[in-house]
Structures are given as structure tokens and as C-alpha cells.
Amino acid sequence: MALEQLSDVVQRCQALPDDRYTTEDHDVFTISGRTCIEEGNSAQVLSLVLDEKNQDLVRCMGWNLLPPLIQVLLKKDSEKFSQCLAIFNHLLQTCRPKELLIGLLEQLEQDDPDTIAKSLHLLLNPLQKVLLCLGSHKASSLGMTLSSVLDQVANLPLPHTKEQEEDDVFSLCRCCTDLIDFVKPFVHEARQNLLNSEAQRESTKRRAGELGRDTRGIHELGTELLKFCMKTLSHPLLEVQLKDPDTLAESPLRNFATEIMHTLSAIGESLPSLVYQPLLKRKQVPGFLEEEVRYPKESLASLAHLVFVHHLAADTFPSVFSPVFGLRCNMEHICLLLSRTEESRIQKGLELYEKSLVRVEDGSLPADLMEIKTFLTVPQTLVKVMTVCPRHDLRTRGLKVLQLSIDKLDTEAKYNFFQYMLKTSNHSGVEGYVIKNIKNQIDTALQPGNSNTWFEGAHLLPLLRKVLSLPDGPETDLLQNLDRIMESLNLLRYLIIRDKVTENQTGIWTELYKIEDTFLKPLRVGVNMSRAHYERELHDTMATKRGKAKVESLLSVSVGDEKLPNMTSESQIQALHSALHTFDMIESVLVRIEELTEVKENL
């Protein structure tokens, strides 16, 4: 039935010029043609399509047959495969590029990852051929194609381990490799355009900005490729963990990343300019994309990671930039990455931070760096990572990087940084860690030859006053602030032992009477109050337990929609004992400090 309809309309149109085909002709051809292919009559369709007499018709309407053809081609084991392939290839050569493009792009959208991967693999090559036929106006069509392709790639699951990358079960790696082959001729063309326009500019001494109509098309191709590269830098490149050559000698993903970087260079985007962009003033490029859209911050951060952590395209990256400059630029990228919640971003942020710091000499970063915004916001985001990130290894690494960043500061910068962190971190653990660092710095300063005005002498006392204090006076929650309090006490004990009364290098001995008033006395009061309170609680809980009365708790806690069971009496008692033990611990250090003070003062 369909076959007859098809033959009819074909016959009818043989006699007509193509501007006389009616809408009905189009529709009949489309419906009957598609049905024939679906029903397996591809041989007949093939002979119709190849017939010389029908070429005008094929050119005009042939592209409508693409959907069922591609369905057959995706199922490689169909017996009609070779016939459909022949029809397909003929259509590619005969039909109009713009229409073919639409037909092919439509078929990129499939339902499941497997089919998506298959259709990408099948269609990229034909798409390339079609685009190359579009001549000098191909830029926007290329852009549309790349955008659709990347949208589909985004639906493919990503490999995470080395084995997954090798197995490539969902064909992401193969798609990336295909993509590189796909863009090659366009990259080449864009590079040529760039060279030609520069040569032209040289020879006629035209000023930059006065671009003729021709050259606008030239830059458009480069612009589309830039968009493409920037997009891939976000996805998949920022999501996947690239494996180093030692781990995986041949890595399609690493190759893909490298090729993207080469593409950027080829279209005239210098890698250093991109990576160092946060600190460079960009020239206004006469084009239609604004800075932020043209160079998405996340993509640049991804690029910086590829350069500094994976050392891709290292042979094209100049080895003349100063490590401090690199650090300053990277801080912007690091800030962006660490502020995200996705663990892949955070991990890359930490890696980039580490690699940037390692290049800098210890104790060399000057205090004026602390006036740059990112040098203050990055530590804050780092604190968030260290305290809140669900992954333990990232929290630990965050702490390691924090210490590394401290080590690179010079003495004055360390001083300012510690002040800043004590003021802003609002976390007892972090404060305790900073105080431990302060102690180490004081220790260093007291060693012969290391004397400085920041951790001994005039500046130290204001810092000490901030450290040796209770955030809320005697009402300070001792358990919540335990880390900070213990480190403060340790510091005080250290100073009393280390600094001789007669020398008083740190000023602690003249300050001690005040510290007694503002710190030690309220702390003792707090300890006693807390101990009394908890002892009471313990007594009550044990009484309740003995009485076996059900105590209705006032709060409940739920995690992930599941309500946690109330603490059993045993656990409550345990917790209370633990709290009391903590107070004992604090008190023992207080007592020790008293003892030492007396001994020293009586010397």
C-alpha cells in the first residue's frame, strides 16, 4: 500500500519542476516513504532514490526519510542495514545541507544512554560532512550542533575509576574521542581565518576594531568553538577525575582535555591569558558575547586545574611566571571551586590550592596579600569544608592545606591571619588549631636568632589577650568551646614554663594579673558552675533510671527523614560522665598553671 503510494507520488513529480510540488505531495512522500522503510521495503526505496529521474524530488524531500533510516542504522543487526545505509549516504550527498542538519540533529535525542551513545557515534561524521557543505556561513549551524551534541553527552554516565574509564561501558570516552575528530576541520578553518585576518591587518594596517563584514564571519566560527571548549571544561571535564600517566597510560579523557586545550590555542586564546584572567584586564573583543558569558568562571577554574594539577599542555605553557602571581590568580579559581557543594569541585579546589602553594617558598608571602579579598574569603570557605563537608578525606585534606597556607605566610602576615581567623571562624576547633599555631610561632620567635616583633614584644600582647579570653565570660559553654579553651590553657602553661620571669620576653608576666581576672577566674567559676549543673543532671538521670519512669524528651532529632531513637539512660549517663571528666581536665590544667606561677614568682 505504502509502496504504491510512494511510486505514485514519485511518478507524478517526475514530470513537474520542483517549485510545483504541492504540500500534499510532500506529505504523501514523507508518510509513504517512511512506512516503506519501517516495513522493510528499503530495497525498493533505494532504487527509487537512486533513479536519475528522481533526483530533483530526492533533493527536495529526501531528508524526510531520515528518522526511520537512522532507527534501522542504530540497530546494526538489521538485515536491511546495508540498503538503508546506501539510501542514507545518497541522501547526505544529494539533499540540502540545512535540511539534512535539522533531520540529523533531531535524531540525536534518544531515550536511554545506550542509544544516545550509539546515535552520537553514528551521526557525528554525517553531521560534520553536512556542516562542511555550508561554506562560510557555517558558524551558527556549527554552534547549534555542538550545543545539541553536548546536551546529549551530558546524559551519559561518567566513568570514575581507572577500570571504568578503560571499560567505557557507557561510551562516554568514545564520544569524547569522536568529538575531537568532529571538530578538527572546523578548528583548522578557524585557525586559518585567524591567520588570514591578521595577515590582512598587517598588510593594510587596519586598526583593531574596524572589522569588515567578511571578518565578522571569521570570528564567529572561533566564537562557536570557544563556546564549545568552555562548555566541555565544565562538563564533562570538571566532573571527572583525570588519571595520571602512571595510573593509566592511555587515557581518552586526558587526551580529550589536552585536545580541548590545543583547540583553545589554535583559535587564538592563549592559555596563560585564560588561566590568569582574574588579574588581567581583558581587551574588549568586538563580538556579541560579554566577558562573563564568553569566559565562564567555572570553565576557567577547570582549565587552571588542568594546567597546574595535571600539567596538561605543559610544553606550551610559559615557565616564566612568578609562583606568587600564579597563586594570586588561582585564588579566584580556588574560591569558586571551594564554595560549591559538589565534592568533585571541592576536591579540585583543594588540589589546585595545594599545587599553587607548594611552588611558593615558606614564609615568603607578605602581609599586603591579606588585603586582597580572596586571601580572606578562601580561608573562610576552607573552614566550611573542614567542618561541614560530608567526606572525611576532604575535611582532613582541607586542614592540611590550611596549615600549608599558613606556613607560606611571612611573620607579619601570619600574625594578621591568626587575628582574622580568631575573629571570623566561629568554630572552636578552628580557633584551637589557630591558637596552637600561635604557640608554635611564639616558640620559634623565642629561639635565638628568630626574634621578631610580632610573636614576642609589643605586638604579642594584644594577640594574647584575644586568645586568653572566654567568648562569653563565665557563662561560656565550656563543652562547646573546649578545643579553644584547652589550647588557650596549653598556650598559657607553655608561656609560663618557657619565658623566665626575669626576662619576660613575651610580656606574659606583667600581663598575668590581668589574665587572672579576665580569663582564669571566670574560667574557674564556669567550671564550677558547669560541674554543679552536670552533677545535678547525673543525679537526676540516675534517679529516673532507677525509678524506671519514662521521661518524655522535649526534642527529637531526625536524619534523612528517619527519627533517631531517644538516648537511652545509659548513654545519657555516659555523656554526663564524659562532660564531668572534661571539667576535671580543664581544672587540672588550671591548677597546674597556678602551681607553676607560684613557683616561678617565688624564684
Q: Of 514 and 533, which CB lies nearer to another protein in the complex structure?
A: 514
Among 258, 410, 420, 590, binds another protein (CB under 8 A): 420
Nearer to another protein, 256 or 418 (CB): 418
Beta bridge partners of 365: 409
Do 310 and 242 touch, CB atoms closer than 8 A? Answer: yes
Q: Are strands 562-563 and 558-559 parallel, antiparallel or unpaired?
A: antiparallel
Q: Which of 137, 188, 311, 536 binds another protein (CB under 8 A)?
A: 311
Side-chain-side CA neighbours of 269 within 13 Å: the count stands at 28
Report if residue 400 touches another protein, rule: CB under 8 A: no
**Hey, which residues between 316 and 335 contact another protein (CB under 8 A)?**
318-325, 328
Q: How far is the CB of 101 from another protein (least distance, A)?
A: 31
- Give, rounded to a whole angstrom, the gap between the first and last alpha carbons of the chain: 116
Rounded Cα–Cα distance for residues 277 and 275 (Å): 5
Cell of 291: 566577558
Query: In this chain, which of 157, 245, 363, 366 binds another protein, going by CB under 8 A?
Result: 366
Decide whether 137 or 188 has the Cβ nearer to another protein.
188
Helices (H), 447-469: 460-467
Among 16, 358, 591, 599, which residue sits at the site for another protein (rule: CB under 8 A)? 358
Contact 32, 70 (CB under 8 A): no
User: 422 and 378 in contact (C-beta within 8 Å)?
Assistant: no
Q: Which of 199, 293, 551, 557 binds another protein (CB under 8 A)?
A: 199
Q: Number of residues interacting with another protein: please give it, by CB under 8 A.
A: 39
Q: How far is the CB of 279 from another protein (least distance, A)?
A: 6
Tell which one of 374, 441, 481, 582 touches another protein (CB under 8 A): 374
Collapsing DSSP to helix, strand or coil, 333 comes out as helix
Q: Which residues of 188-215 are buried (b: 16+ CB within 10 A; e: fewer)?
A: ebbbebbeebeeeeeeeeeeeeebeeeb
Q: Identify which range of 171-179, 248-256, 344-352, 359-367 contacts another protein by CB under 8 A.
A: 359-367
Residue-wise DSSP of 61-106: HGGGGHHHHHHHHHSTT-TTHHHHHHHHHHHHHHS-HHHHHHHHHH
Site for another protein in 257-296 (CB under 8 A): 270, 272, 276, 278-279
- Tell me whether residue 86 is exposed, middle or buried, using C-beta atoms within 10 angstroms of its C-beta: 0 to 12, 13 to 18, 19 or more: middle
Nearer to another protein, 270 or 588 (CB): 270
Candidate residues 75, 216, 373, 533; the one interacting with another protein per rule CB under 8 A: 373
Nearer to another protein, 6 or 335 (CB): 335
Residues engaged in binding another protein (CB under 8 A): 195, 199, 270, 272, 276, 278-279, 311, 314, 318-325, 328, 358-361, 366, 368-374, 376, 415-416, 419-420, 458-459, 462, 514
